[in-house]
Amino acid sequence: MGPGPANANPRVLAAQAMPLLGHMHPPFFKIMDEIQAGLRYVFQTSSEYTCLISGTGHAGMEACITNLLEPGETIVIGDKGIWGARAADMAGRFGVNVVDLKKEAGKTFTIAELEAALKEHKPAVLFLCQGDSSTGVHQNLAGLGELCHAHGALLLVDTVCSLGGVPFFADAWGIDAMYSGSQKVLGAPPGAAPLFFSERALKKLRERKTKPMSYNWDLNLIGDYWGWFGSRSYHHTGMVSMWYAMREALQIMGEVGLEGMWARHKRLHEDMWKGLTAMGLEPFVANPADRLVTVNTIKVPEGVDWLALNKFAMDTYNVELAGGLGPTLGRVWRVGIMGYNATPANVELVLTSFREGLKAQGKLKA
């Protein structure tokens, strides 16, 4: 019940144990086609340019940045937690001119702030993290694609800990590129980064003057393995077992349905906060509309030992809770409500862990 990896669905683990197919054999290409259909559904796009990157969320981040930008171009990074800072670090390594647009931890960017940055810096790309797992904020993305396009920029979004748990509409919101992670709401082990490029983003990639600086993440080559350009060529060995896992995870998303997933995560987030509030605990994110439902940040009250409470939860109930990360280190607990773990029983177990953990420190009476 930390910010991930969440427990994987047993159906996904069983799928992963199936015998290996050759990664260039037609039956395996069929599995890849089915994965792409599943990705189109969870991303809410009709774009042909979807795939899994062989790596975790960071690999997806690096793939998007190195493919979307050439050295000397500018990226504006919406930096409101550690993910913006990491994207800035990566872009800098690729010779991209980085504008670090900072925001106090726990807050989100307004449209007016982003518009001012687009006007001033005229970037090729604007980066935003939808669900920031280091602070527990949820950045609203509606309308931002249109805004970026009006200023000649592409919109790149991190959805590693939010995809599947909160609404996301790649086409309707005009998103140009997006990466996510397998090990959070999607309910698979870590090791695959779902990725999406819009037509606009693909055009930019195809018209580059320089090759993407990473061979491993070159989407001209990876796309050619995923059939983006009408053929299939070997780039690297597809992660056969991991792709089985993702096919099953996406199948489950389809069975439950996105609306059902979003509603379940929101309901459990609200139920958990009812219980936490009754114990006198407070959210780190002041504005309810900015609170991420998949990763919840809970302020550590004065005089409470957060690490001791986490140890108590693990030792007593086998429940994993996490402390803060980056700007929230020592200031919050982080509790994940994600995918297979998103059940009323698990939320109840989290509440029991906090209740009894606080009592054990003499910080809660009744």
Ligand X SMILES: Cc1ncc(COP(=O)(O)O)c(C=O)c1O
> In this complex, which beta carbon is closest to ligand X, that of residue 82 or of residue 250?
82
Among residues 167, 204, 203, which one has the least CA distance to residue 185? 167
CA 200 to chain centre: 22
Q: To which residue do tokens 């010779």 refer?
A: 95
Q: How far is the CB of 83 from ligand X (least distance, A)?
A: 4
SS3 content of the chain, % helix, strand, coil (to 5): 45, 15, 40
> In this complex, which beta carbon is closest to ligand X, that of residue 16 or of residue 351?
16
> In this complex, which beta carbon is closest to ligand X, that of residue 190 or of residue 323?
190
Q: How far is the CB of 154 from ligand X (least distance, A)?
A: 19
> In this complex, which beta carbon is closest to ligand X, that of residue 15 or of residue 186?
186
> In this complex, which beta carbon is closest to ligand X, that of residue 2 or of residue 123?
2
Beta-ladder partners of 322: 334
> In this complex, which beta carbon is closest to ligand X, that of residue 21 or of residue 59?
59
CA–CA distance, 71 with 190 (Å, rounded to integer) = 30
Q: How far is the CB of 339 from ligand X (least distance, A)?
A: 13
Q: How far is the CB of 241 from ligand X (least distance, A)?
A: 17
Q: How far is the CB of 27 from ligand X (least distance, A)?
A: 29
Q: Is 334 annotated as a binding residue?
A: yes
Q: Which residues bind ligand X (CB under 6 A)?
A: 3-4, 56-58, 83, 129, 131-133, 158, 160-161, 181, 190
Q: How many CB atoms lie within 10 A of CB 249?
A: 30
Contact call for residues 205 and 49 (beta carbons, < 8 A): no
Backbone angles phi, psi at 140, to 5 degrees: -70, 135
CA distances from 42 to 49, 101, 187, 323, 346 (A): 14, 29, 13, 29, 24
CA distances from 283 to 82, 103, 135, 136, 242 (A): 19, 18, 11, 9, 36
> In this complex, which beta carbon is closest to ligand X, that of residue 83 or of residue 273?
83
3-state secondary structure of 303: coil
Q: How far is the CB of 198 from ligand X (least distance, A)?
A: 20
Contact call for residues 164 and 42 (beta carbons, < 8 A): yes
Q: How far is the CB of 151 from ligand X (least distance, A)?
A: 25
CA–CA distance, 268 with 251 (Å, rounded to integer) = 23
Where is the binding site, in residues? 334
Binding residues for substrate: 334
